[in-house]
Amino acid sequence: MAQRIEEFTSKPFNYYVTKFRRRLFRRVVEYEVLAKNLERDMDKVTEGTLSILAISQEDLGRVQIKDHVEKACMTGLKAEFELFFTIYCTFVVDHILSIIESTGEIPRQHKGLLKQVKINHTKFFEAFMKSGLRDARGHFIEQAIPKHGLGLLVDLLTNCGWVDVIESLENGSESSLDRGFGTLIKNPWKQVKVAFQVRHAIEHTFSKVGSGFVYHATPIINETTWSRYWAPVSQQLPVAQGLGFSERPKIGDRMLLDNIDIRGTAAAMSWSVHMLNDHWDTQVLS
């Protein structure tokens, strides 16, 4: 990890912004091409392919291929954004450490990096000793930054005093998107947060609403594209009406998503990265 940290910070932050946008574009294009050609190409699936997957022709008719393509794309979008946000947090912590090194003291607003971030001291010292007492900085960053989880990464930024960028994300509005989503997305950052909860449900609760989704997503879901599924019946999409959805997600509901959710999430992620880049340019590089 220490080597990866050095590789990350050896390039300008904007390099990763450009790289993320290209990868985001690639994910969406892959989805659009798959979705467009899905029905046409399904009859080309050979018996040999089905045997590899242990799927019979009869079972194939019950497999919701379109649903799986959409879920695969959402999972990919989440992975791309989480990697980018982890790199961003690496830059932030590295920047704070540079301030401490140059001034010889810890600025008050950044003291939470030591006091509130829960660093595993045993792992830190073990890694430091095994390295021959080299690269304490890299080992510190490795232990300070969560390995995954958008919420944990946001907590890190908040704990170490990097709060203004989080506030700018939280205060974003649908007018910031300008991607034709109208009132479907009232807050891009909340769209991203719900998308992370959707991905969690896809991978960990068999695409069903669980207690975590109810707790984290329900309070903000009406500000996202998923408001089309959980809403007054007269405002719900037919697929949600057919499944008997209520106005609020309940445990056991099937996780729904379509082209609008995917494109809206990609647009919200792109907007978020733009905000992070602007903040970095004005607050760090200026």
212 Cβ neighbours under 8 A, 6+ residues apart: 197, 200, 201, 205
**CA-CA distance, 245 to 255, in Å (whole number)?**
11
Average pLDDT over residues 39-59: 70
pLDDT band, very low/low/confident/very high, at 238 (cuts 50, 70, 90): very high
pLDDT for residue 2 is more than 50: no
What confidence tens digit (pLDDT) does each residue in 153-201 have?
999 999 899 999 999 999 988 777 766 787 789 999 999 999 999 999 9
Helix (H) or strand (E) holding 121: helix 121-130
99 φ, ψ (degrees, to nearest 5): -65, -45
Average pLDDT over residues 108-124: 73
pLDDT for residue 118 is more than 90: no
pLDDT band, very low/low/confident/very high, at 250 (cuts 50, 70, 90): very high
Beta bridge partners of residue 254, listed in sequence order: 208
pLDDT band, very low/low/confident/very high, at 3 (cuts 50, 70, 90): very low
pLDDT of residue 129: 72
The helix/strand/coil state of 173 is: coil
Q: Are 107 and 95 in contact (CB under 8 A)?
A: no
* Average pLDDT value over all residues in the chain: 86
Indicate the pTM of the whole model: 0.89
Average pLDDT over residues 231-235: 91
Average pLDDT over residues 39-66: 68
Q: Name the least confident of 95-109, 124-138, 236-250, 261-275.
A: 124-138
pLDDT of residue 48: 67
What confidence tens digit (pLDDT) does each residue in 5-20 have?
557 888 999 999 999 9
Percent of residues, the chain, with pLDDT higher than 90: 58
Both tokens of 124, joined, read 């830190």
* Amino acid type, 83: L
**Per-domain residue ranges of the chain:** 2-285
